[in-house]
Amino acid sequence: MLSLLTVALFIFFGLKNSAFFNADFVIYPLIRDAATLSVIGLAQLCALSIGHLNLAVGRMAAVSALAAGAAYQYLHVSLLLGLFMGLFVGASLGALTGWIIVKSQVNAFIVTLAMDFALLGFVTYIYVTFTGATTAFTTKPAGMEFWRNTSWHQYCVAGVCGPKIFPMMLVPAIIAIAVIGFIFSKTRLGRELLSTGSNLRAAKLSGIPVDRRVITAHLMSGLLAGLAGIMLAFTNGSFTAAIGSQFMLPSFLGPVLGGTLLAGGSVAVLGTFIGTLLTLIIRQGLSVQGIGLETLNIALGLVLLTALSLGQIQKMFTAIRMRGRT
């Protein structure tokens, strides 16, 4: 149903203003943004799967990007190696967060809030210290331009070329969606994570290593946040302290619209992508109309609240259905 809505809105905006269908200036960037924001949505999804929130997704993205950028600038590593280093940093931050949550038994909201605080200044500090006024790592590793600007049109098989509206940046997103979707729908790890989110006590009393799974979920969250951060850095062309500062809201919009439960135990991976796409369509659609940034925010906030209210109504019906039982 969400997909129908997405397609409907897509057509709607296009009909309203044909400039919306401009492949190079509207659609391509839209899908590219959707790629990055879906990944951050997946980062939040991993925390949501166990019923936790990760408020530090933006900063984790920033720190990972920082690590990758620094690696490119000072260690002159290859694109892939820098990427892995950045991802490693993100995963480590996530794992650390998860470990703190387990050991201190403090609410994830508070821990990630404090982590966000702590990382906030850290990022600026590093950038200023190392790069002075520019506050950016600008070294571009070989291959960055390719990921940044090209589309699937480059690849032709038997004379049929890929659509030029699909950016290369979509590839890491597709990989992430596929892997995360696979984990949660098919594997034991995914099952254990969702069980932990559905009923922590029952999970523990069924022999699931809940502490380890909490750490794993947060590790995954950090890793994906890192990926999103690096994807954004590639899109922008440089590694700055501002990366990730706008990630918080989209990280929730995608999963929530897509059907992931805030309470844990149920995730919708593909839905996260569609949800993200939907919000970006709304954003771009309104923007093409000439409607400013502010109305956008208003619209997005309203969309979030409406989606949540509808979700609650649906939950109420399910509860009534279940309530008849002792």
Instruction: Report in angstroms how near the CB of residue 293 gets to other proteins at its nearest.
Output: 6
Instruction: Report in angstroms how near the CB of residue 135 gets to other proteins at its nearest.
Output: 13
CA distance 228 to 266: 23
CA atoms within 13 A on the CB side of 23: 9
Q: Which of 195, 216, 221, 235 binds other proteins (CB under 8 A)?
A: 195
CA distance 194 to 215: 14
- Residues within window 60-79 making contact with other proteins, judged by CB under 8 A: none
Which residues share a beta bridge with 100? none
Q: Which of 139, 266, 287, 289 binds other proteins (CB under 8 A)?
A: 266
136 versus 170: smaller Cβ distance to other proteins: 136
CA distance 158 to 203: 52
CA distance 193 to 208: 9
Instruction: Report in angstroms how near the CB of residue 261 gets to other proteins at its nearest.
Output: 9
Tokens representing 26 are 């509207």
124 binds other proteins (CB under 8 A): yes
5 binds other proteins (CB under 8 A): no
The size of the interface with other proteins (CB under 8 A), counted in residues, is 71
179 binds other proteins (CB under 8 A): no
109 versus 146: smaller Cβ distance to other proteins: 109
CA distance 19 to 285: 9
256 binds other proteins (CB under 8 A): yes
198 binds other proteins (CB under 8 A): yes
Q: Which of 149, 199, 236, 238 binds other proteins (CB under 8 A)?
A: 199
CA distance 189 to 217: 10
DSSP 24-66: IIIIHHHHHHHHHHHHHHHHHHHHHHTT---TTHHHHHHHHHH
Instruction: Report in angstroms how near the CB of residue 228 gets to other proteins at its nearest.
Output: 18
CA distance 30 to 35: 9
153 binds other proteins (CB under 8 A): no
116 binds other proteins (CB under 8 A): yes
Binding range to other proteins, per CB under 8 A, among 27-35, 70-78, 120-128, 136-144: 120-128
Q: Which of 141, 254, 265, 285 binds other proteins (CB under 8 A)?
A: 265
Kindly state the greatest CA–CA separation across the chain: 66
Rg, C-alpha atoms of the chain: 20
4 binds other proteins (CB under 8 A): no
Instruction: Report in angstroms how near the CB of residue 321 gets to other proteins at its nearest.
Output: 7
